[in-house]
Chains A and B, each alone.
Chain A
Amino acid sequence: KNEVEQSPQNLTAQEGEFITINCSYSVGISALHWLQQHPGGGIVSLFMLSSGKKKHGRLIATINIQEKHSSLHITASHPRDSAVYICAVGVIQGAQKLVFGQGTRLTINP
């Protein structure tokens, strides 16, 4: 079992739908990162959080440290949100050593 598990692995939705991607981890962490990877490979950091909730535009990330679970939500989804979303955790000992989930491929149809 991977230390970081994401679900679902693939998600297809219609434009405007509310999207939720989940991430569970099994190790002690200093922070959890949500990343976005577009076709072609470039990766952009969306959020880094160690508690509570963060919001940026239509994106919301939450984390529950006790349950070792995080969610990424997208409101009013748009075709340009189509990408692979990756959860990664910075482990407590060696916080710069990120351990990655396998990614969630999101496709938003117009």
Chain B
Amino acid sequence: ETGVTQTPRHLVMGMTNKKSLKCEQHLGHNAMYWYKQSAKKPLELMFVYNFKEQTENNSVPSRFSPECPNSSHLFLHLHTLQPEDSALYLCASSQDWAQGEVSYEQYFGPGTRLTVT
């Protein structure tokens, strides 16, 4: 496997279910990201991790719970979601950073299309 992979690619879940999205990167990066892309809205950053530490939580509701056990893996745990949470969830990775002023190219996974019924 190369690049950034995400599983599952499609997920349908009820509002009372608990599920997890998985992201894995094979690029040797130490920074990982979760993004949400809703229909007809710009991509939104959800979480950022740098060396397994969360550096950004973009006011995401607590029904989304990220986990970064190591620099290669990132999870998004989902529980009691709402229909408006239906969207494409994208994971990305990049080079790590020591200071916040430098921007690095991000490499995206194919996304998980989530439907909440």
Contact = CB atoms under 8 A, between A and B. Distances in A.
Interface of A: 2, 4, 29-31, 33, 35, 40-45, 48, 50, 86, 88, 90, 92-103
Contact of A2 (B31, B42, B90): B42
Contacts of B110: 40-42
Contacts, number: 78
Given A96-B50, A96-B55, A45 B101 contact: no
Contacts of A42: 108-111
Given A35-B108, A96-B97, 18 more contacts: A4-B42, A30-B101, A31-B103, A41-B37, A42-B109, A43-B92, A43-B111, A45-B106, A48-B103, A50-B103, A86-B42, A92-B101, A95-B102, A96-B50, A96-B94, A97-B58, A98-B45, A102-B42
A86 B43 contact: yes
A97 B101 contact: no
Interface in B1-48: 31, 33, 37, 41-45, 48
